Amino acid sequence: MLSGLEGSCAPVINGPSGSTTELGSVLAAVRTQRGVQEVFARSVRDLPAALGFALFLPGPSGKRAKSCIWIRCRGSGREAGALYGQGLFAAGLEPSRIFLVTVRDLKSALKAAEEGAGTRSISAVVLETMGEAKELDLKASRRLSLAARRQNTPVIVVRTGESPSASAAMARWGIRAVPSRSPGLGLPGSPAVEVELLKYRFGVAGRRWRVEWDHEEQAFLEQALSGPVVPLSFDRPFGRPAYQGRAKAG
């Protein structure tokens, strides 16, 4: 399915990472591990933010372009929209290095992701799922994880419309879009997200950050929260904010 993508694509270049922040340090540690990462959009409206964060996970952009396979099922564009070239450039990504693969169902998507993870010329694989993804069970995630570790290719699964379940992912993130801070004069601010590390096999999970995308640094930089951080509760419904009852910053 993906054999025609073999070539001389550039590897991921670890450029500026916002490593002066706690989140940057965590991301740097996660990137040293092989395997699958899951990114859960808190709701459908948070999906664009989750996809943007997923593109950043394999490694921040350097001066050379990175290659990536982006896999989605037909109809996903109705919810998530299409890739936007100018936005990719703003994130330091070269659109011509992103191979968009559209398949008819999740079974085909998993096959493409596994095959893509084993392609030497690919530096990352992003897989979108919408709704309850029964095919992406523990066995399927183990297969993806093995393929990712075999070629040291990051595989990021962006999931929407379902709660976390057992998987072989070595890291799991929860993403929610939050209001940006205007620089004044009624201008919109930089994209802002709330990031939760829900699971990390090689370290401590349960941390949360509010960050904004910095176009110059090509990194997510932390912003101060407007109140005390409420500890995560893993017995609450996934879709309910951990900080319910506290006003959003913005």
> Measured between alpha carbons, how far is 87 from 100 in angstroms, rounded to an integer?
16
- Residue 80: pLDDT band with limits 50, 70, 90: low
As beta bridge partners, residue 158 has: 39, 128
pTM for the structure as a whole: 0.74
CATH of 15-223, one of 3.40.50.410, 3.20.20.70, 3.40.50.10710, 3.40.50.300: 3.40.50.300
- Residue 8: pLDDT band with limits 50, 70, 90: very low
Which of these ranges, 3-17, 38-52, 124-138, 214-228, has the smallest mean pLDDT? 3-17
**Tens of pLDDT, residues 19-76:** 347 888 888 888 888 889 999 998 888 998 898 898 888 875 543 345 889 999 887 7
Higher pLDDT, 124 or 218: 124
Residue 182 has pLDDT above 90, yes or no: no
